[in-house]
A and B are shown apart, each in its own frame.
Chain A
Amino acid sequence: MSGPVTTAGAGSGRPAKAFAVSPRLETVSWVLLGLGLLAVPFLGSVYALYMACLIAINVIATVGLNITVGYTGLLSIGHSAFLGVGAYVSALMWLHLGTPLALNMVGGAVAAFLVGLVFGIPALRIKGVYLAIATLAAQYMLYFVFQQWTPVTGGDRGLSLPKIDVFGFGDVGFYYVVMAVALLTTLAARNLFRTRVGRSFIAVRERDYAAEVLGINVVYTKLVAFGLGAAYAGAAGALLAAFLRIVNPDQFTLMVSVFFLAAVVVGGRASTLGSILGALFMTMMPELLRFLLEAAAGPGADMAGLLSPLREIIFGALIIGFLIFEPRGLAGLLRRALGHVEEVEAKAEH
């Protein structure tokens, strides 16, 4: 027990300290990433632009879920329902009030936060898996609302939105907006865990009684963490609505929630880098799978029937495999690949 004692455990904490690589390399890699993202529209590929937007939106939602599941240790399995709340609220604001995208996004995030509290308040007073059940309830009840409240939500057909035009740049402009939002929200999440509030999330996860003794209001902290996760989902949902220009109930099913849970587990719980890697990997995976299936079967073959079950198997197997063999996910794998030797203290898991 001679090594430095890290207070934040194995989580993001201070990558500069946890990494064997220098902080300068970290900065350089961030700058390179930023330049790479700036360059995407110049590839001229509609597909690349589309995937980049989708990945960025999924990163926002995954970062949110990671705050709830990874940092605070609260299992939420209804994340897509909160995405749906954000999407519907922002779409309705747009259609009926004509408000700009930025305001719609805030509206979606606030709505998702409030709806999250409705389901979180009964569940978070009690210890145990109650939150998981309450979020499952949210999943089914909100789907019901999306589908049945036809006068407002458009029922099964959903809502269609007009094309968005950011500063007259069309799709490219929208891409930069999505990227900027993703960058800001990810940075905000990263910095959150260097503040008192963020640290109290981790304290609650590690040992709630100890946190209580330290003067942290456990119920309040859990509510904030859960609501914050839902708000991230709401913002992502608002962007998704503007991006796909259609909102319907089938975008927000249980399988989508499993997708985000898998992204958190695969990327690495309690790691911002993990959220990015997880969302990237999980968004690309179905595309890769489809590509492989098409290559294997040749064009024209009906692979749609095979795709969905295969995806479910892979989602599930990834969750199981990473939980058993690499609890710190892709972020942990990457750190080890970069030569970071694990400290004894880092073995503790959340």
Chain B
Amino acid sequence: MSLFLEFSLVGLASGGIYVLAALSFVIVFKATNVFNFATGEMMMLGAYLFLLFDIQLGLGWGAGLLAALVGSALLAIIAERIVLRPLIGRPHIVLVMVTFGLASVFRGFAGLIWGPNVRQLTELLPRTPLFLGNILIPGKLAWGFLAAGLISGAFIVYYRFSRAGTAIRATSTDQVTAESLGINIRMVFAMSWGFAGVLAAASGIIAGSVNGVTPQLGLVALNVLAVVMLAGMTSVGGVVVAGLFIGWVETIVGAYLGAAWQSFIPYLIVLLVMIVKPTGLFGEQRVERI
């Protein structure tokens, strides 16, 4: 029983990474209606940028972290400007396909620049394990969870109460009305991609400092799709719950059935959600059945 509790806590802690990445995904989908398959690659590039600024350019971890987050935001904004902006108004399927191409390009560049092997990041997170009674949680995971929680919390508060967050929400509700009320839609698009870049990078850096970085880091994060589906593609609050749940399921499954099942179960959940409740648990009633 205590073993199960331990696995559960470890799972919840690793779910924190999913929450961050899923927030990155949801904000782009809400504001711009683009289903961003490159979210995982944005995570991976964030982690590599941290490696670049921190160790390879020797800025130290503080400045490196800041530079990596700013760099990821810029990269996301540039990607929006160059790749997504010309496609506004084109069929939906084109917008999805193009993010797939973007993901492939990002992965290729990471492989080209940093090579296929695992790179270790600076140990930002303390290693000392945390004891709750006789339950042990690896230190990196616990502190990573804390960091992810703080960042997500700060972002959600900002998103709810700031002018910028309100503008994004207004745009997601009704683009034409938002525009007529004086909201600069292009600005909102760029901003939401920028936020998505920062959130994904934060998630990637935390994931990378637990397990190291490879160009394939982003592929693992496709599990984030399970989170997003379960929550409903538009629910900011929902992804927090769903992220923790998927993290938990994945760890429990990995512990009792073996690691290979970890890539299987989240997608099984995705299919079940589609059959039972396509809006997800917390999604808006945007889904149209035919």
Contact = CB atoms under 8 A, between A and B. Distances in A.
Nearest to A222: B290
Interface stretch (A132-140, A179-187, A271-279, A331-339): A132-140
Contact of A69 (B93, B105, B267, B274): B93
A99 B109 CA distance: 46
A305 to B, nearest CB: 7
Nearest to B79: A320
Nearest to B288: A127
A219 B290 contact: yes
B288 A320 contact: no
B287 A316 contact: no
Interface string B242-279: 00000000000000000011011001101100110010
B83 A324 contact: yes
Interface in A292-350: 305-306, 308-320, 323-324, 327, 349-350
Contacts of A323: 87, 90, 94, 97-98, 101
B112 A313 contact: yes
Interface residues of B, number: 48
A349 B35 CA distance: 20
A241 B112 CA distance: 31
A27 interface: no
B288 A136 contact: no
B173 interface: no
Contacts of A130: 274, 278
A317 B79 CA distance: 12
Contacts of A26: none
A319 B274 contact: no
Contact of B96 (A129, A219, A324): A129
Given A144-B263, A313-B108, A137 B271 contact: yes
Interface in B87-116: 87, 90-94, 96-98, 100-112, 115-116
* Interface of chain A, main secondary structure: helix
A220 to B, nearest CB: 11
A349 B91 contact: yes
B83 A320 contact: yes
A212 B288 CA distance: 14
Contacts of B35: 129, 132
Contacts, number: 145
Contacts of B102: 316, 320
B289 interface: yes
A4 B289 CA distance: 36
Given A141-B264, A324-B83, A324-B86, A128 B101 contact: no
B274 A123 contact: yes
A10 interface: no
A350 B93 CA distance: 9
A6 B91 CA distance: 20
B90 A315 contact: no
B101 A317 contact: yes
Contacts of B121: none
Interface string A253-268: 0100010011001000
Given A73-B93, A127-B290, A319 B100 contact: yes
Contact of A128 (B91, B97, B268, B287): B287
A115 to B, nearest CB: 13
A216 to B, nearest CB: 11
A75 B105 contact: no
Interface residues of A, number: 54
Contacts of A265: 97
A136 B225 contact: yes
Contact of A312 (B91, B96, B107, B275): B107
B219 interface: yes
A341 B72 CA distance: 43
B172 to A, nearest CB: 15
Interface string A65-96: 00001000111010000000000000000000
A119 B267 CA distance: 11
A186 B261 CA distance: 38
Interface in A101-155: 119, 122-123, 125-130, 132-134, 136-137, 140-141, 143-144, 147-148
Contacts of B270: 133-134, 137
B215 interface: yes
B206 interface: no
B274 A122 contact: yes
A134 B100 contact: no
Contacts of A349: 90-91, 94
Interface string B162-193: 00000000000000000000000000000000
Contacts of B21: none
A141 B96 contact: no
Contacts of B260: 144, 147-148
15 contacts: A75-B97, A122-B271, A122-B274, A126-B288, A128-B288, A132-B96, A309-B107, A316-B100, A316-B104, A316-B105, A323-B90, A323-B94, A323-B98, A324-B98, A350-B91
User: What 8 A-B pairs are tightest by C-beta distance, nearest first?
Assistant: A316-B104, A319-B101, A309-B111, A312-B108, A313-B108, A316-B105, A137-B267, A122-B274
Given A141-B268, A313-B112, 15 more contacts: A119-B271, A127-B290, A133-B229, A133-B274, A137-B271, A144-B260, A308-B111, A308-B116, A309-B112, A312-B105, A316-B105, A316-B107, A318-B101, A324-B87, A350-B91
